[in-house]
Structure 1
Amino acid sequence: MIRVLDVVLSAVGLLVSAPLMLIIFVAGLIDTGSPLFIQERVGRGRRPFRVVKLRTMRLETPSVGTHLADPASVTPLGRFLRRTKLDELPQLWNVLKGDMSLVGPRPCLPNQTELIAARSRLGVFAVRPGITGLAQIRGIDMSEPQRLAEVDAEMMRGFGLVAYCRILAATLLGAGRGDRVRRSGV
């Protein structure tokens, strides 16, 4: 049932958000010259996949966890996209393809070895990664890998249609803070 909801909601989301994504795409062309950002992430079964997002950082920014990125690398448009979570919209394509779910553990980068090890120990890679999850609505990001993996495992233990809908509704109502970039000098 959850996969059916993923397909229906992501397809509807892509159709409804297409005009907005087109506007953001054009703004991104002006902002960085390359509005889409494609990055390898670790998915279900620890298999790699390519995630699609709207670019929020300058082109030369290294591929590291958001919490490790230089705050100066986030563009003005990028700050807006992060604050509103609009940078996540293209991931609806990943959901439609089956790489991701709307709700699940956020997919990590292959170089986030501490998080990968913690998630492996807790069996988190048994499920599809998601655009949002319990950790995100609680404001936990990848700067706390052990805690993040534990909350991901907690979400999986009680996961079903009710939890899926509750987490999705909380996200749509603005719970969580999105990916945070560390402050300068930290």
Structure 2
Amino acid sequence: MYGNYLKRLGDILFALCAIIILAPIILLTAIAIYIEDGSPAIFRQKRVGLNGREFTIFKFRSMPNGTGDVSSREAKKLRITKVGRFIRRTNLDELPQLFNILCGTMSLIGPRPALASQIELVKSRTEAGVYDIRPGLTGLAQVNSYENMPEGEKVKWDAKYRNELSLMMDLKIVLRTFGYVLKPPPAY
């Protein structure tokens, strides 16, 4: 029952409350991006979600206008704006995903959504049944490694989450996410 109904209800309540509470920060971040590098402040990218369907993920734009779609690993090689550097280090770039959670394309907790171009990762996740659940803002793989986790290991954590999905596991991941966010950020 938790995975089918209560988790979605919790996602909606969390996203609504977070959007209301964080509205000033969301607005100031969008304004800062606009002042430094123009419009749009929101970066849209296709990702693979529930049942293997593509959806559009929202993030604050941290790279100069016109930068193409790249994975997180490839993004480290590209130029990042001054505001972008700050919002990545503070994880503010992820705040627009609250709207993804609200509209149901994402959950607060689940596997981080992959790019469709990450063919091997998508294939492995499909075989492991990971796409039976919504992707998340944070997940079991994220709290077990800050960055650069091999894709095979990521799939193992994602499958473990899918197979052991429970309220207690979600609460543990939320608590561990706070520790993750407070770690020294990666260099950009």
TM score, norm. by length of structure 1:
0.89
Alignment deviations for residues 8-48 of structure 1 (CA, whole Å, 9 cap, x no partner)? 01000001111111100100002221211111111010111
Q: Which residue of 2 aligns with 1:157?
A: 163
Task: Report SS of the residue matched to 1:131.
Answer: strand
Runs (4+) of structure 1 exceeding 6 A deviation are 176-179
Give the conservation status (yes or no) of the 8 Å contact 1:140–1:148: no
2:34 maps to amino acid: L
Unaligned 5+ segments in structure 2 are 1-5
Alignment deviations for residues 57-90 of structure 1 (CA, whole Å, 9 cap, x no partner)? 1223221111012534222211211111111111
Q: Which residue of 2 aligns with 1:52?
A: 58
> Structure 2 residue aligned with 1:82, among 88, 101, 126?
88
> Structure 1 residue aligned with 2:136, among 108, 114, 130?
130
Q: CA deviation at 1:169?
A: 2.1
Unaligned 5+ segments in structure 1 are none
Q: CA–CA distance in 2 between the matches of 1:140 and 1:114?
A: 21
Give the conservation status (yes or no) of the 8 Å contact 2:109–2:137: yes
> Structure 1 residue aligned with 2:123, among 100, 117, 120?
117
Give the conservation status (yes or no) of the 8 Å contact 1:105–1:124: yes
Task: Report SS of the residue matched to 1:174.
Answer: helix
Q: Which residue of 1 aligns with 2:8?
A: 3
Give the conservation status (yes or no) of the 8 Å contact 2:146–2:180: no
* Residues 63 and 110 of structure 1: CA distance in aligned 2, closer, same or farther (over 3 Å): same
Task: Report SS of the residue matched to 1:71.
Answer: coil
Aligned length: 182
Q: CA–CA distance in 2 between the matches of 1:42 and 1:108?
A: 6
Q: CA–CA distance in 2 between the matches of 1:113 and 1:178?
A: 31
Q: Which residue of 2 aligns with 1:16?
A: 21
**What CA RMSD, in Å, does the superposition of the two structures yield over aligned residues?**
2.1
In percent, how many aligned pairs have the same letter? Answer: 36
TM score, norm. by length of structure 2:
0.88
2:27 maps to amino acid: L
